[in-house]
Amino acid sequence: MAKEKFNIDTILAHRSDELNIGLGVSLGHSVSQGDLSEGQWIRFLRSFLPHRYDVSKGFVFDSKGGVSEQIDIIVFDRFHSPLIYETDNGEKYVTAESVYAVFEVKQEANKGFVEYADKKIQSVLDLHRTRRGIVVAGEARPPRELTHIIGGLLTTNSVKSGTLCGHIERSANIDMACSALTGTFHKGADGKVTYSDSGEAVFAFFFLLLNELYKLGTVGAIDIQEYADRSLKSFSLERGEV
In a domain, 173, yes or no: yes
pLDDT for 2 beyond 60? no
Mean pLDDT of the chain: 87
Catalytic residues: 72, 104, 106
Which pairs count as long-range contacts for 47-56, CB under 8 Å and 24+ apart, including other chains?
Answer: 47/15, 48/15, 48/206, 48/210, 49/75, 49/209, 49/210, 49/213, 51/78, 52/77, 52/78, 52/79, 52/218, 53/77, 53/78, 53/100, 53/213, 54/78, 54/81, 56/90, 56/91, 56/92, 56/94
In a domain, 216, yes or no: yes
In a domain, 226, yes or no: no
In a domain, 22, yes or no: yes
In a domain, 211, yes or no: yes
pLDDT at 27: 38
* Residue 28 pLDDT class (50, 70, 90 cuts): very low
pLDDT at 161: 94
pLDDT at 21: 61
* Tens-digit pLDDT profile for residues 78-133: 887 777 788 888 899 999 999 999 999 999 999 999 999 999 999 999 999 999 88
Count of structural domains, the chain: 1
pLDDT at 26: 44
* Tens-digit pLDDT profile for residues 186-236: 999 999 999 999 989 988 999 999 999 999 999 998 998 898 888 888 888
* Tens-digit pLDDT profile for residues 47-86: 889 999 999 999 999 999 999 999 999 999 988 777 778 8
Domain of 77?
8-131+139-221
In a domain, 232, yes or no: no
pTM: 0.86
In a domain, 117, yes or no: yes
In a domain, 35, yes or no: yes
The arithmetic mean of pLDDT across residues 25-52, rounded, is: 72
